[in-house]
Amino acid sequence: MKDDYYSIVVIGERELVLGYKMIGCDESYNVDTVEEGAKKLRSIFTREDVGLIIASDFIRNGLTDSEIDRIQMSVKPLVVFVPSERMKGKREEEVLREVIKRVLGINLEV
Amino acid sequence: MLQKVKPTRMELLKLKKRIVIARKGLDLLKLKRAALIMEFMKYIHKSKDLREELEKITRKAYEDVKIAEIYHGSIGIESATMMVKKMSKLNIRTKNVMGINLPILGRERFEDIVNTRYRLIGFSAKLDQIIYDFEKYHNLILEIAEVENSIRKLLQEIEKTNRRSNAIEKILIPELENQASYLKMKFEEMERDTFVTLKKIKSNLQKRENGEALAD
């Protein structure tokens, strides 16, 4: 199998960004507002060389539903929303639970 | 919705064959759905544990960053970040599960994110703690990325399979059966038609014979 290497980008709160910088992440953006984060995420999402985007989950509030769907289904890049502290976003578990309920018709504890 | 079919025996045979194939396809789709759900269940249990752990680690890691900021100031941390070894690039491969591409993230090169020997010399314990926390955090994130993306992909596929099997079960098969029964009715009708015609001809012939006999 062909091995491709991609870079990792972090977008989010200051603590997250600083922490990632400490483990040697080259590209990280500290964003403080939802709009700024959404804009950044959109522009990075389209880049070819990025393999993993780690974003604070408040950024999700600035995206439309179809955008979120598209972002979370893609493999290259993968996007992970991580819990943020200052601004509360919808937790990933809740979002996933809704999708499961729609598809399988049951309430699963995720 | 009845499609126009020619009332021939050939059409009926074709229809019957199509119904059999549709039934087979439906069974296959149902099997696929069951298999997908099994795969999905495997991931969903993992996902729950991972998210709980992430929540815990996040709180601790953020706390440690704040403490380090108090000690060194954000400039202190920033300058420390200049010294760390760059993170290696991420290797993404995909694995095929029933026609869906699920991601696999390479972890083989993550051992050397930061060289531990060098770390002890250059950094204070507070900064060291951040590195330790975020290494754990990052490994967890990789796993979560894999698992959650897989879950979403599987869900999407399950939804698609559902839609397809519903379409076959609730629309295609009833329609084909309708057509088949319509054809059968048509054939019976034609049979009765010919029967009656034959009877009529026979009686006509008989009448004519009787008439000729009388004339003789």
Q: What is the ipTM of this complex?
A: 0.84
Q: With contacts defined as CB-CB under 8 Å, which chain A residues touch B132?
A: none
Residue B177 has pLDDT above 90, yes or no: yes
Spatial separation of the C-alpha atoms in residues A73 and B38, rounded to whole Å:
20
CB spacing of B62 vs A78 below 8 angstroms? no
The answer to whether residue B124 sits within a structural domain is: yes
Classify burial at B204, counting beta carbons within 10 Å of its beta carbon; exposed 0-12, middle 13-18, buried 19 or more. exposed
Has residue A42 been placed in a domain? yes
Number of domains in chain A: 1
> Cis bond leading into B174, ω under 30°?
no
Q: Is residue B94 part of a domain?
A: yes
> Which domain, by its residues, includes B106?
9-197
**pLDDT bucket at B132, cuts 50 / 70 / 90:** confident
Q: pTM for this one?
A: 0.80
Residue bearing the bigger pLDDT, A76 or B43 = B43
The 10s digit of each residue's pLDDT in A69-88 is 888 888 878 898 888 887 77
Give the domain extent around A96: 7-104
pLDDT at A110 exceeding the cut of 80: no
- Distance, CA of B52 to CA of A79 (rounded, Å): 19
- Any idea what the CATH number is for the domain that residue A24 is in? 3.40.50.10580
Name the band, by pLDDT with cuts 50, 70 and 90, for residue A62: confident
For position B176, which CATH number holds?
Answer: 1.10.287.3240
Position A109 in a domain: no
- Residue ranges with strand state E in chain B: 90-97, 100-105
CB nearest to A22's CB, from B59, B92, B127: B127
* Inside any domain, residue B214: no
Let me know: does B122 contact B83? Beta carbons within 8 Å: yes
Instruction: Answer yes or no: is A110 within a domain.
Output: no
Nearest to B66 among A15, A24, A25 (CB): A15
DSSP-based three-state secondary structure for A105: coil
Cβ(B103)–Cβ(B149) below 8 Å? yes
CB distance from A83 to chain B under 8 Å? yes
The number of domains in chain B is 1
Is A1 part of a structural domain of the chain? no
